[in-house]
Structures are given as structure tokens and as C-alpha cells.
Chain A
Amino acid sequence: MLTIKNLHASVEEGAEILKGLDLEVKAGEVHAIMGPNGSGKSTLASVLAGKDGYEVTEGSVKFADTDLLELDAEDRAKEGMFLAFQYPVEIPGVSNVNFLRTAMNEIREYRKEDKLSAKDFLAKVKEASALVELDNKLASRAVNVGFSGGEKKRNEIFQMAMLEPKLAILDETDSGLDIDALRIVSEGVNKLRSKDNAIILITHYQRLLEYIQPDFVHVLNDGKIIKTGDKNLALELEEKGYDWINEEIAQ
């Protein structure tokens, strides 16, 4: 589904953040990406989602059958890419459901599917908000305005449930969630899992991975994936931190 080869990306000011990153994600898989602060996890997510301000200097990204890097941000979403932001923005005056309606209509048009009826749309809103137990009032309020940190994260997963992406990248969705919310949101994500879609979880905490069990755990450090393992790697990291990996590599 997603094939990243030797990806190098810099910020516009010039500093290189991703320094030759490889990653292969297949349909049905869950990948966790862990790594120290500033190692480039969110940058990877931004580059994949098509945020302006990053320059890919080398490498390639294939998503489904497209050359992902050739697409505008909106077309990546239309092809089935979704990013749950680490820091979701507040958009005063734009209601959550209204913009999702616009988004879903545009996505359907792109895919040459029929428009969703008002009734079906509302049914979906109800279903998706129930999935993450997002207050109905929040669904119709201005996007993230006045939402608590945890509510913003729930809102991201609510949107994921609405848009049903092929590939969802969740950037630290767990941070800011209380213990109950973490369970609820994780269960929601699990219900959205299928053999046809894939998920990349960016996280600092093993706890999330107890709820959403990953097939692979990668360690990203200084713009590269330096180690890949199964879910036990997350346990090991929780216990020992990151330094031992660097030492292991040095030997």
C-alpha cells in the first residue's frame, strides 16, 4: 500500500530532517513508529500528507498505485490518506460537520461516486461520533475551537471514522487522552481496522500499543529508521529507552 524508499526531506530553510528513510506498509497492517523527540516522526507525517514547506530532495513514495509526492495534499486525502494531527488546529467559524460534508462530497466526486444523501450523512455522523464517544454538540461546533486537548484528539479519530481512509497516520493521538479516553479511542480505531486498510501509529508510549496491537514497531532516530521489530520491541524501549540501540549499531 505504501512504499517509502530512501526518503530525504528538508525544511525550506535548508536543514535536512529525513535522511534516507525506508518503510513498507501493506494492507491490513499496523505499524508503530517510535523515537525520541525531534527525530522526524511528525515531519514524516507532514511529508506524507503533503504539507507545504518541505522539500523532498531524494527518494520516492508510492501509495496505492500513485506517486504520492506528485499529488496535492487534498488529492492525497482523496486517494485515501489520512493524518490525525499531533496538534489539530482550531478553525473559528467553520463547523465540524459542515466541513466534513464538503470534504466527503469532494472526495466522492473525485472517486466518481454518488453524493451522500443528507440522511446518510447524518447517520454516519451519528455512528462515527458514537464510535469515539464524541459529544454530539462537539460534532457540530467550530472545528476544535474551545475543545480540550483530549477532545481535539477524539475529533481527529471521529474524522477518520467519517472519511474511512485506506491509510491512517495517527501522530501521538494518545497524548492528551485520559485513561478512559485512551481505551475508548483505541477501541474505536480497532473497529476501523480491516484487511483493506493500514495504520501507522506514531507514539511515545507502549500503553497505546497494548490496545492497538502493532504488527511492526520501528524506531526512528535522526531521520532514519534504525531498528524494526515486533511489538516486543516497544516493551524493550519502554524499559531501556533509546540509547542502547545506538550502542548496538555502533558495535
Chain B
Amino acid sequence: MEVVADNKVLAFVSDFKRPEDGSKVRQQALDALNGMDFPTTRVEEWKYTRVAKYVKRKYKQVQTTANVDQFKIADLDAHQLVFVNGFYDEKASTILEDDTVSIHKIDELDEGYYTDLMEDTEENVFSLINKGYQTGGVFIQIKKNKKANHPIHILHVLEGEEVMANARHFIHAEMGSQAEIVTSFASNNASNGFTNVVLEGHVETNASIRINKLQTEAKDVLNISNEMFIQDESSNFLINTVTTGGQLTRNGLNVIVEGENCHTEMNGAYLGTEKQHIDNHTIIDQLYSNCTSSESYKGVMDDKSVGVFNGKVIVRQDAQKIEAYQSNKNILLSKGASVNSKPELEIYADDVRCSHGSTIGELDEEAIYYLRSRGISKKSAQQLLIAAFIGDILDKIQNEAVRAHVDQLFLEDFGWRF
């Protein structure tokens, strides 16, 4: 490791506060940061995503308030936990009366339990910066054999100039519990902000978690998400990621399946315009037999936007009878847009059923002509085809309030009606 490289990361964090809260997790992260470098495009995992320009900036961690009304999801009836620049905003938050869940500060998470759970999982420079310098976050417990009475909405807002938000969350779905989580990311009166979020969790035996994640930040924001979930036997995990915002978004989503009879599902819809860069890197690591996973990401890229998809499914030697399905489909709306798609299967077991595929194409010209010949304008015809293309991903959002919110978003952002 070069000495100069060390300095880049240390220089980046030099103005951040180092809270002396006695957290071992924090201390380990801070220690690990020594000797880390920011990834360059020479690193395989970051080949198509260049962060150099962003990490040269001097971001600030600023606690403030923001008007979040516009980012609430109507009729969601959720516990709403608001984070402004990574700091918990108690006034803007609403925690409902609910004996099925308990909501704590992240600092209340048992570090012994956490460290055991996350043993052998990989960190990267951004997750370490988050854990070393986190300014807040929630630790949510879904109680044993309970179905959460309300969805839990973790709403993140950036406010101000060159601010960096380091919120760190943990969700513990106890045995047999069920919950629905919404994470959303927005920005308001912000410029050149950086959301660096960590969301981790444990889905215990027979538990089930559904997450809808909405990324709608302004098109000058850097968003790096590190998500890591551990699934125990017979559990279900599902996440739908909808990305329309950000200048550069990198979603690092990892699920480690540590028990039999699990189902893991990841869906994503990303829509790029202008010079947006949207990168989804996912890993599903199957360690035990008789599990299924399904992954479907679809992108619609316009102008000079760039999409990156890298989906890795690892089937370990002892994991037999795994069924893994993976697909990434993309439509380019302009000559200047591009997508790098790489589905990867790493299979060490012999009795598995896996399929994967990726496509990059354009809207069907014949179909557009057909629709136009019936009196539909070119723009509406394109919209109908785009809606048809990503509609099945949006249909995975079962919660009607969230779906209505997403539909509204598309209407406002793109003039698309679904």
C-alpha cells in the first residue's frame, strides 16, 4: 500500500469528528481505514465507476433541519424516521404506538452480536468511513413471530453545500417476524452532496423482510450505498431498488444466505438522464441447499447517462439444489447513453439450476410506428413502451402507497404515466 494513497482517505476524513463513544465497531473501522485507498477504475469492482473526482472534495458533516414534507409518502401510515445529512431529526420523525417493533439508536445495537454476525463479511473504504464516522442511524427490531403493524420508512435528506451524510442502520428481524421497510433518499437545497449510507440486517429463521428503496436525489449528488443482509434458514428477503436521481449512484447490495429453504429476491428499475451514472453491484452468496433466488434489474437510459450492472451469484460447494435466476435488461433511448452489464455465476456445487442473461437494446421502432399509426404521438408511444418495459419491476412494489408515490415521481420527472 502506498503512503500517498493512505493520505487521500485520511485527508478526506480529516475534518470529520471522531466521537469517543467507546464503540468497538467504530474503532475497528477507523483502524481499518489506515492503509485504505479509494478505488480507481483499475480495481475490477470499480472498473466502470469513477469516484476520483468526488473524493477529492472536502465534504462537511452538518447537522441541520430540512423541510421533508414533500418527501413523505402519502397514506403509507408508517413509522417515519428522518435523517437530515445523516443526523436523526427527532422533530421531523414519527414513531407510532406499536408493540411489534422496537426502534433504537444504532449505538444501542449489541456489538458482540453484530460482530459475530458480520464475521468474514467484506468491508470497503466507503462502508468503513461510514462505520468510523457515522452520525446516527436506527437499529430496528421486529419482534419474534410478529408482523409489524406499520411499515418503517427511513427517509434521508441532504441539505446544504457539499455535505456528507453517514447514516448507519441495522434491521433485526427476529424469528418468524415480518416487516416492510422503505428507505428513501432525497435532497433539498443541496449542492454536490454525498450520501454514504450503510444498511445491514439479519433475517432470522422464518422471518421475512421486504424493502422498497427509492433514490431520487438531485442530479449532482454522489450516493454510495452498502447493504448487507444475512438470511437464516427458511427466511425471505426482498428488495426493490428504484433509482432516478443522483449524479453518481453506486449500490452495493449483498445477501449471504446462511440456511436452507430461503428465498432471496432483488429487483431494480433505474432511469438515467443527462449525465447520470447508475451502478448496481449485487452479490447473493448461497451457502446452503434448497434455496431460490430471483434477480431482475431493468434500466432505461437516455441522453449521456451510463448504467452499470454487475450481479454475482455464488453457489458454494455444499449448496445443492439451488435455483437462481438473474436478468438485466436495458433500453437505450439515445446514442449517447450506455450500459455495462455483467451477470456472473460462480458455481461450486454440481446440482444447481441457474439462468442468467442480459440485454441492451432500443425501443422497438415497428411498435412505435404501429402506435403512431393509431394517432398516438411519438412521445406517448415511447412512454407506453417504456412503461411496458419496466412495469413488471414496478409491479413488484406491492405496497400501494409506495407504488402511487413512484408513479407520481415518474410523472413529475419524466412525464411518464404508468
Using A73-B369, A89-B364 as known contacts, say yes or no to A78 and B375 having CB atoms under 8 A apart: yes
Closest Cβ neighbor of A75 among chain B residues: B375
Check: A56 CB closer than 8 A to any chain B CB.
no
The segment from B116-124, B242-250, B376-384 found at the interface with A is B376-384
Is B375 within 8 A of A77, CB to CB? yes
Give the most central of A82, A94, A107: most B CB within 10 Å: A94
Is B375 within 8 A of A85, CB to CB? no
Is A99 within 8 A of B374, CB to CB? yes
Is B373 within 8 A of A91, CB to CB? no
Is A93 within 8 A of B392, CB to CB? yes
Is A89 within 8 A of B366, CB to CB? yes
Q: Chain A contacts of B374 at CB under 8 A?
A: 77, 82, 99-100, 103, 159, 163
Total contacts A to B, CB within 8 angstroms?
79
Check: A106 CB closer than 8 A to any chain B CB.
yes
Check: A189 CB closer than 8 A to any chain B CB.
no
Q: Chain A contacts of B391 at CB under 8 A?
A: 93
How far, in whole Å, are A147 and B329 apart by their CA atoms in the complex? 25
Closest Cβ neighbor of A77 among chain B residues: B375
Q: Chain A contacts of B366 at CB under 8 A?
A: 89
Closest Cβ neighbor of B374 among chain A residues: A103
How far, in whole Å, are A49 and B375 apart by their CA atoms in the complex? 11
Is B378 within 8 A of A74, CB to CB? yes
Pick the residue among B377, B384, B387, B392 that contacts A74 (CB under 8 A): B377
Is B389 within 8 A of A93, CB to CB? yes
Is A91 within 8 A of B375, CB to CB? no
Is B369 within 8 A of A102, CB to CB? no
Check: A88 CB closer than 8 A to any chain B CB.
yes
Is B370 within 8 A of A88, CB to CB? yes
Is B376 within 8 A of A103, CB to CB? yes
In terms of DSSP, what is the predominant structure of the interface of chain B?
helix
Is A91 within 8 A of B369, CB to CB? no
Q: Chain A contacts of B389 at CB under 8 A?
A: 93
Is B367 within 8 A of A77, CB to CB? no
Is A73 within 8 A of B385, CB to CB? no
The residues in A between 57 and 79 inclusive whose CB is less than 8 angstroms from any CB of B are 72-74, 76-78
Q: Chain B contacts of A92 at CB under 8 A?
A: 388
Pick the residue among B367, B370, B378, B384 that contacts A72 (CB under 8 A): B378
Closest Cβ neighbor of B391 among chain A residues: A93
Check: B372 CB closer than 8 A to any chain A CB.
yes
Give min CB distance, A197 to chain B, whole Å. 16
Closest Cβ neighbor of B377 among chain A residues: A74
Q: Chain B contacts of A51 at CB under 8 A?
A: 369, 373
Q: Chain A contacts of B369 at CB under 8 A?
A: 51-52, 73
Closest Cβ neighbor of A92 among chain B residues: B388
The residues in A between 192 and 223 inclusive whose CB is less than 8 angstroms from any CB of B are none
Is A83 within 8 A of B364, CB to CB? no
How far, in whole Å, are A82 and B375 apart by their CA atoms in the complex? 9
Check: B51 CB closer than 8 A to any chain A CB.
no
Give 4 closest A-B pairs by Cβ, nearest first: A93-B388, A77-B375, A73-B372, A103-B374
